[in-house]
Copies of this chain bind each other. A is one copy, B any other.
Amino acid sequence: MPEHMTAASGDEFDQMARDAVYRAMFTRRDVRSHFLPTGLDDAVLARLLLAAHHAPSVGFMQPWNFIVIRDAARRADVRDLFLAAREQELPEIEVERQALYRKLKLEGICESALNICITCDRERSKNSPLGRWHNPEMDLYSTVCAVQNFWLAARAEGVGVGWVSIIEPQALKSLLSIPEHVTPIAYLCVGRVSEFASKPDLETHGWGRRLPLPDLIMSETFCGQGETPLKSAVAHLNTVAAAQANPADQCVAPAVPQREPPKEASALSFNSRNFDDASASRASQAGSGTWPAMVLK
């Protein structure tokens, strides 16, 4: 790597680059609809897979494999597994929500350009389990990180991804000839889409709402009080966003006085001068900075 690419001497992300990373996260969706009947170029898919392959993995074991499923008949079989699983899951849902559950579209197995099953080979580094002796599930978690890399890269490429979890795993293993020591982690529907929804479908349909992030932050121990400046900083991000958005989208009560966003701020920019001013105190920083409404939906 060239010397100038170290963090200390120029490998920083500028504001536009940081914004792009956050935008991929905030506009990523679990896509079940809006798949286009177009295919997906191998060149694009190759980049998504390379992104997945650069996920962290415990002991650098890289336990993942990627099964690409294009065949229509096989995908119809997978869809049948989903339909059966949905009927089995239905009685477990609260009675008053079962009608809504039935209405929700929860997969795009046959409509998407292709499907990908990302698996975890649990024996790939069995003789040298660095970092897995006390936490043997770390290889599964590593594979999930690969899924998330794939998903975010897809968002940046304009490719929709939906994770189908309503499926009986042993039936899926049988259908895809996955051996016993390999665990399917994610069955993904992947393809070009006409749009990305502005909010998660489950939020749009009233299944759930985004929890207030300050409530999820704890200090030193579980349920430990404290971290007030941090919680204020978090609340402020949402406050500024909510003031710019539809008030109905607001899920955190304003905890910090709102300030006018700077005129020169881009549509996707933090006010980095306020946020990153090293001379400001933690508490005063917590009350400054902007975040656009768009990215928080």
Contact = CB atoms under 8 A, between A and B. Distances in A.
Given A13-B156, A21-B21, A132-B165, 10 more contacts: A7-B195, A17-B156, A21-B153, A22-B47, A41-B285, A43-B274, A60-B210, A67-B221, A89-B129, A89-B133
Nearest to A13: B156
Contacts of A230: 42, 45-46, 49, 68
Contacts of A193: 7
B129 A92 contact: yes
Contacts of A60: 200, 202-203, 207-208, 210
A16 B16 contact: yes
A26 B54 contact: yes
Contact of A128 (B59, B69, B93, B185): B93
Given A194-B7, A221-B176, A85 B134 contact: yes
Contacts of A254: none
Oligomeric state, in number of copies? 2
A106 interface: yes
Interface size class of A (residues with CB under 8 A): 35 or more
A50 interface: yes
Contact of A152 (B19, B64, B152): B152
A19 B217 CA distance: 32
Nearest to A289: B43
A268 to B, nearest CB: 9
A265 to B, nearest CB: 15
Contacts of A144: 141, 144-145, 148
Contacts of A185: 141
Given A179-B222, A193-B7, A230-B45, A88 B213 contact: no
A1 B23 CA distance: 13
B17 A165 contact: no
Contacts of A17: 16-17, 19-20, 23, 156
A200 B185 CA distance: 24
Nearest to A31: B7
A213 B149 CA distance: 15
